[in-house]
Amino acid sequence: MRHAALLAAALALLAAARPAAAQDLIAGTAAVRDKAISDTTAWDVVESLTTEVGPRMVGSPAMTRARDWGVATLTRLGFENVHLEPFTTRAWARGEERAEVVAPFAQPLAILGLGGSAPTPRGGLEAPIVIFPSYQALLDVPPGGLTGKIAVLTQRMSRTQDGSSYGAISPMRFLGAGEAAKRGAVAFLVRSVSTADTRLPHTGAGGEPGIPAAALSTPDAELLERMAARGQPVVVRLSMASRVIPQAQAWNVVGEIRGSERPGEVLVVGGHLDSWDPGTGAIDDGAGVAITTAAARLAGSAGRPRRTIRVIMWGSEEQGGSGEAYAHAHAGEIADMIVVGESDLGAGRIWRAALPAGAREHPAMQAFARAVVPLKVDVSRDAARFGGSDVEGMIAAGAPVIEFRQDASRYFDLHHSADDTLDKIDPAEMSQAVAVWASFLYATANSDVDFRTLKARP
């Protein structure tokens, strides 16, 4: 009888504590959100990275400086277990580049070589061009149909808030040169995968096609279209120097805020530390590094979280390898990963949050949803699917994922170009993004939510 009475009393106390715990989580999440709005950590981080390191190509001395900067930054901000996880990956290094129209109307062209491009022969190459208004039009050419020609792909990218047009059109940049090479082309030029109208070309990964491949500025792509429309052969001279680094050393930089009650349960978030070389890698992805670093620090500022929050500065997203290396090294830890996510869409405000399937109704996610209402964030009914390139391997292995969709209306005016610089970041918009991430990390790290066991409602 005495044992039964004690058990009943304990259950009554537990039931009474649950509403209080829920209210504490709501209040704590809101407090972290409010603190994030005025916190300057994210700005300080991205300002430091772009000023003290600048562009960070894998395999370059700047990437080594970025590695050291990452360790110093996480240590200075109070993260624990700060360490490097080295890996090797194939990398590409840019050399001198030049392009010009030599006939019928001599004019210079603004280009940037695509990652993986082969160099031109010494002294360059000169050949007539063939314009393709769409990727499909290029694919429709039979083998041998472009022998001795430069293929020029001029398909346009549309401006969208969610950046979905990039995913739809980027295969033409990554795969187009290889397809042109199969058809006998001696080189490949593509209209920059960009929404900009400036004469700054946008680089990016272009595969390893075996022929020279470069991005044209959007005005120059239109210039070649106009020339070709006059009915005369258009001849372009191209000179490009580049080299491949078969085994480049790279590093994932890791820091943690260790959990107090369940340290083995880990929230894995971050941004990628590497960048392309024309700008200073401010929005792609210095901002993502800064947002997740600041958010994790804020989520742990109200007392040690119950679960561990791990921040990763992935070391080779643009040229590939960092996500695969991390997923492989931590394959035995996937079951303990509560959730994974990457911030890699600039510094704009977050307008929609996508959670793991079935998570919306959990009290912790209700606390999160309540916190982000003043931030004008819609918590989507659709489950998160893509959390970033560097977490794809962990997602495939079973880790739950979050996806915070930022306003990408202007992002593709800037990314992979010389315009990717600190002055393009709006500190207030970046603070809003930090507040969303910090709210989620706090609510998740201080709750018992298990995203794997939740089911989406019909």
d(CA 65, CA 49): 10
Tell me the C-alpha distance between 153 and 269, whole Å.
Answer: 36
Q: CA 365, CA 440: separation in Å to the nearest integer?
A: 8
Q: Which two tokens stand for residue 301?
A: 């500022």
Task: Specify whether the CB–CB gap between 151 and 138 falls below 8 A.
Answer: yes
What does CATH list as the number for 26-90+247-453?
Answer: 3.40.630.10
- CA 64 to chain CA centroid, Å, is 20
**One-letter identity of residue 175:** L
For the chain, domain boundaries: 26-90+247-453, 105-233
Q: How far apart are CA 33 and CA 434, in angstroms?
A: 8
Q: What is the pLDDT of residue 456?
A: 55
**Quick one: DSSP state of residue 285?**
I
Q: Which of 371, 375, 399, 403 is nearest to 387 (CA)?
A: 403
d(CA 420, CA 274): 13
Question: Is residue 303 left, alpha or beta, with left meaning phi > 0 and alpha meaning psi from -120 to 50?
Answer: left
Task: For CA atoms 248, 337, 349, 33, give the dihedral sign.
Answer: negative
Catalytic residue from among 256, 317, 318, 403:
317
Considering the segment(s) 105-233 as one domain, its CATH architecture is 3-Layer(bba) Sandwich (3.50)
Q: For residue 222, indicate whether it is catalytic.
A: no
| pLDDT values of the chain reduced to their tens digit, one per residue, 458 residues | 444 443 344 333 333 335 558 899 999 999 999 999 999 999 999 999 999 999 999 999 999 999 999 999 999 999 999 999 999 999 999 999 999 999 999 999 999 999 999 999 999 999 999 999 999 999 999 999 999 999 999 999 999 998 889 988 889 999 999 999 999 999 999 999 999 999 999 999 998 889 999 999 999 999 999 999 999 999 999 999 999 999 999 999 999 999 999 999 999 999 999 999 999 999 999 999 999 999 999 999 988 999 999 999 999 999 999 999 999 999 999 999 999 999 999 999 999 999 999 999 999 999 999 999 999 999 999 999 999 999 999 999 999 999 999 999 999 999 999 999 999 999 999 999 999 999 999 999 999 999 999 865 54
Classify 151 as helix, strand or coil. strand
Cα–Cα distance for residue pair 429/112, rounded to 1 Å: 30
